[in-house]
Amino acid sequence: MDDLKELKLEALKKIQEVSDVKSLEDLRLELLSKKGKIQGLMAMMKDLTAEEKPKFGQLVNDLKTSITEAIETKKKDFEEVLMNAALESEKIDLTLNAYTPKAGSLHPLTLVQKELEDVFIGMGYNVAEGPEVELDEYNFTRANTPVGHPARDMQDTFYIDVNHLLRSQTTAIQMRVLEKEANHMPIKVICPGKVYRRDDDDATHSHQFVQCEGLVIGENITVADLKGTLELMIMELFKKDAKIRFRPSYFPFTEPSFEVDMTCHICGGKGCPTCKGTGWIEILGSGMVHPNVLEMAGIDSKKYTGFAFGVGVERLAMLKYGISDIRDLYTNDVRFLSGFKK
């Protein structure tokens, strides 16, 4: 019996002294394997009395349990140390540059055009397009600007031959829509696209730019409808409450015609450098479609009226994103482009 006690003390001491996993395993085998010391104790059973046997068995089992537990505990200690060492070995500099999946970007003109499209699609408009190499007829004549009309001088146009030109206004698309949809009232479209004028490029002029025109034809369309529609568009674009005001203007294809100012999106109308202290920003041209334009497309101008408007997409982008030089939009420097994340 004392042997057992001694054996236990000795075993536990050895377990405590083990210095690595391998030695611990060796020790475990020495003590607990089938040929191990504990098993060896069982051999002594046969020499014991029937009375002593269960008692001895119990003691051996207890011994076995304690040693097993001690070994497990020691093993866990070793594992803990190993894990700590492993973790330590995996220590990294958390301040190093992150891996940034390269983010692409849409061109700011695309972003604005997309917003315009989405606003108007939501209101049941379609998005119409047309050729940039256009007939003089659609660009001017059908827009109530016949040959010799002084308004042709307002836009210096890139002609290709007598009848063909690079369109100077997306009004050309409207004229095509009117002709095609003359018998499918009402008409609700926006017409985005590139246009070209013989302007020298500088900070505020570009020989190429993007316009987006809108056109609604139906019964009883009013200037008030135009106002409401434009206010909604501007509020969606600038994500702010905005008011607009109309100033009389002149376009050959609308009558009456209006320049439209919106409350400055920077100062909300209080006056700031962006709006030159006026609280208003000139944003687009618009008006009620001229009866001549409707008649030329085969639409009864006594029955139908409508409004049209045209906005410069560059102008919107410049206002919205704070771009001061229109040429930045066409230089395509990736440092600039990368700023326009989706």
Partner 1 sequence: MLLSLKWLNEFVDLSGLSIEDIEDKLVKAGFEVESEKHLGLGTNLVVGKVLECKDHPDSDHLHVTKVDIGDEVLDIVCGAPNCREGLKVIVAKVGAKLPGGEIKAGVIRGEKSNGMLCSLKELNISEDMLPEDSPSLNGIEELDDCFEIGESDILNKLGYEDTILEVSIYANRPDCAAMYYMAKEAAAILDRPCKLPDYLGQANIGEKGSFKLNSASENCKHFIAKVVNDVTIKESPEWMKQHLRANGIKSINNLVDISNYVMLETGQPLHFYDLATNPNRNIEVRDDYEGNYEALDGNEYKIEKGDLMIMSDNKPIGIAGIMGGENTKILDTTKGLIIEAALFDHAQIRRTSNRLGLQTEAAARFSKGLEPEAQNRAVDRAVQLLKELADAKGFEETVEYGKSDYVPYTIEETLSHLNSLIGKEYTMDEAVSVMKRLGFSTTNDNEKFVVEIPSHRSMDLKIREDLDEEIVRLTDFDDLKSTLPLLPQTVGKLSPIQRIRRNIRETLTNKGFNETVSYTLVDQKKIDEALLPVGEAISLLSPLSDARKYIRNSLMNSMIETLTYNLDHYNNDLNLFEISSVYGKDVQSERLGLIMTGYLSQYKVLHNSIKTDYYVLKGVVLEVLDNLGYEGKRVLLKENDLDVKHFHPYQSVSILINNEVVGIMGKLHPKYMSSLKLKDVYYCELLLDKLVDKNPAKIKAPVINKYPSISRDISIVLKDEVKADDLVKTIKKAGGSLVKNAEVFDIYKGEHIESGYKSVSLNIIYESADSTLKTEEVNEVHTKILEVLNNSYGANIRN
Backbone angles phi, psi at 195, to 5 degrees: -135, 165
Task: Please state the closest distance from residue 294 (CB atom) to partner 1, in A.
Answer: 11
Distances (CA, A) of 263 to 66, 227, 241, 244: 85, 13, 9, 6
Task: Please state the closest distance from residue 124 (CB atom) to partner 1, in A.
Answer: 4
Mark the segment that binds partner 1 (CB under 8 A) among 36-44, 68-76, 250-258, 265-273.
250-258
Q: Which of residues 266-285 bind partner 1 (CB under 8 A)?
A: none
Task: Please state the closest distance from residue 92 (CB atom) to partner 1, in A.
Answer: 10
Alpha-helical regions (H) of 140-251? 171-180, 223-238
Binding-site member from 40, 54, 186, 277 for partner 1 (CB under 8 A): 186
Nearest Cα to 306, choosing from 287, 289, 290?
A: 289
Token pair, residue 59, equals 């003691």
Beta pairing class for 305-312 and 187-196: unpaired
Q: Which of residues 75-134 bind partner 1 (CB under 8 A)?
A: 96-97, 99, 101-107, 109-110, 114, 117, 120-127, 129, 131-133
Closer to partner 1 by CB, 1 or 162: give it: 162
Backbone angles phi, psi at 116, to 5 degrees: -60, -45
Site string for partner 1, 2-31 (x = CB under 8 A): ------------------------------
CB neighbourhood size of 108 (10 A): 22
Alpha carbons within 13 A on the beta-carbon side of 188: 16
**CA–CA separation, 281 vs 260, rounded Å?**
8
Q: Which of residues 297-336 bind partner 1 (CB under 8 A)?
A: 305, 329-335
Q: Which of residues 165-184 bind partner 1 (CB under 8 A)?
A: 166
Token pair, residue 277, equals 């202290």
**263: contact with partner 1 by CB under 8 A:** no
Task: Please state the closest distance from residue 157 (CB atom) to partner 1, in A.
Answer: 10
Closer to partner 1 by CB, 211 or 305: give it: 305
Q: Which residues pair with 247 in a beta bridge?
A: 259
Beta pairing class for 254-263 and 133-135: unpaired
Binding-site member from 154, 182, 267, 272 for partner 1 (CB under 8 A): 154
